[in-house]
């Protein structure tokens, strides 16, 4: 049985305390962050962490992010390089995850056996308070593996009801896309683009490189284990189309008698926020989803990265 708590300003403190008790006793709690909902267990409890993989149907070789509520992360990593210090000062709390060499305190299954660990400090008040109360929390996105990331409580309930001990339901997430993931194990390399953009990071630490998987390149590197899985796959075909060809492509499918759901970008920050939700909704009532492509700069890089992964075809 899953206990679903609707969190309001009034019951927030009490809800967080109850959720922290679940975490501390080795249970699973789905909770909101500013990016998407997370599925959390105590990051220092190997047995609790193993339940995450079962609840999500997540492959064991895909490592988790450790969520903290303190900028001092000395206990979890071998060292904090200068670049990490600068980025932490600038972007934490917020949607930037840093991959660093791990200390021995982090259980093996959190990092899927890698000697690095991904760490971030969420900005969302409920997430932050929960971590403060319960200690560091290992959490992937609170969706079933392969489904679009959950940006509202309905998605979490749809995917996780009866798979976790508690769901903290708190409406819609602000950002709507998973955090930016940057590895500082070696030379800085962007593993996943997000709301904190490549350009913003480069302003703080200078030029960084980009993992080839971000542009849909072949993935054979152990540097980015999460990238080899097809993500966010809707049930129906999703086609990513150059804006100039959008009307033509939609017209062709309609001529074939198909029900076509169309998603256009408009305001990019708003689009990021609603993208996963729109895909879930369009998928329920259409035969095919056609999405307008955008530029690969700023937030566009993260949006295109997610859309490419969700798509079965790209028309340029």
Check binding of 311 to Mg ion (CB under 5 A): no
Q: Residues 20, 141, 183, 305: which binds Mg ion (CB under 5 A)?
A: 141
Closest to 310 measured CA to CA, from 235, 202, 210, 211: 235
CA distances to 20, 33, 88, 217 from 95, rounded to whole Å, are 22, 9, 11, 24
140: contact with ligand TXA by CB under 6 A: yes
- Of all residues in the shown chain, the one whose CB is closest to ligand TXA is 226
Extract long-range pairs of 18-25: CB within 8 Å, 24+ residues apart.
18/166, 19/130, 19/134, 19/166, 19/168, 20/130, 20/133, 20/134, 22/165, 22/166, 23/48, 23/130, 23/134, 23/135, 23/137, 24/134, 24/135
Taking CB under 6 A as the rule, does residue 38 contact ligand TXA?
Answer: yes
Least separation in angstroms between residue 307's CB and Mg ion is 15
Footprint (CB under 6 A) of ligand TXA, residues 225-264: 225-226
49 binds, among ligand TXA, Mg ion, none (CB under 5 to 8 A by kind): none
Cβ atoms within 10 Å, residue 88: 20
- Name the residue nearer to ligand TXA (CB basis): 176 or 300: 176
Sole binder of ligand TXA in the list 19, 43, 63, 167 (CB under 6 A): 63
Q: Identify residues 143-162 at the interface with ligand TXA (CB under 6 A).
A: none
CB of residue 110 to ligand TXA, shortest distance in Å: 8
Query: At a CB cut-off of 8 Å and minimum separation 6, what does 20 contact?
Result: 130, 133, 134
Please name every residue paired with 38 in a beta bridge, in sequence order, or none if there are none: 31, 141
CB of residue 142 to ligand TXA, shortest distance in Å: 7
Q: Closest approach of Cβ 159 to Mg ion, in Å?
A: 11
- Residue burial 224-237, b: 16+ Cβ < 10 Å; e: rest: bbbbeeebbbbebb
Q: Does 196 bind ligand TXA (CB under 6 A)?
A: no
The residue within the footprint of ligand TXA, chosen from 116, 124, 152, 286 (CB under 6 A), is 116
Task: Decide if residue 33 touches Mg ion (CB under 5 A).
Answer: no
The binding site for Mg ion (CB under 5 A) comprises 141
């Amino acid at each position: 049985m899953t206990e679903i708590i609707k969190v309001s300003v009034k019951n927030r403190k009490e809800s967080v305390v109850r959720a922290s008790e679940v975490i501390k006793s080795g249970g699973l709690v789905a909770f909101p962050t500013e990016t998407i909902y997370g599925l959390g267990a105590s990051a220092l409890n190997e047995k609790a962490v193993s339940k995450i993989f079962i609840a999500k149907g997540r492959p064991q070789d895909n490592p988790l992010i450790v969520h903290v509520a303190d900028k001092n992360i000395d206990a979890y990593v071998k060292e904090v390089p200068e670049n990490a210090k600068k980025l932490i000062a600038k972007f934490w709390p917020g949607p930037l995850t840093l991959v660093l060499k791990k200390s021995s305190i982090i259980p093996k299954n959190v990092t899927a056996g890698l000697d690095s660990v991904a760490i971030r400090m969420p900005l969302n008040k409920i997430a932050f308070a929960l971590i403060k109360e319960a200690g560091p929390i290992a959490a992937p996105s609170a969706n079933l593996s392969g489904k679009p990331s959950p940006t509202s409580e309905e998605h979490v309930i749809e995917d996780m009801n009866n798979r976790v001990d508690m769901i903290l339901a708190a409406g819609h997430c602000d950002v709507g896309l998973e955090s930016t993931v940057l590895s500082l194990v070696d030379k800085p390399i962007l593993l996943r683009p997000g709301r904190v953009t490549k350009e913003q990071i480069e302003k703080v630490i200078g030029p960084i490189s980009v993992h080839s998987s971000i542009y849909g390149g072949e993935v054979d590197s152990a540097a980015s284990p999460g990238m080899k899985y097809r993500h966010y796959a809707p049930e129906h075909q999703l086609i990513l189309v150059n804006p100039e060809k959008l009307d033509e492509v939609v017209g062709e499918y309609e001529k074939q008698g198909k029900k076509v759901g169309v998603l256009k970008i408009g305001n990019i920050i708003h689009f990021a926020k609603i993208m996963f939700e729109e895909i879930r909704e369009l998928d329920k009532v259409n035969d095919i989803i056609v999405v307008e492509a955008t530029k690969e700069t700023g937030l566009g890089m993260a949006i295109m990265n997610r859309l490419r992964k969700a798509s079965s075809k790209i028309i340029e």
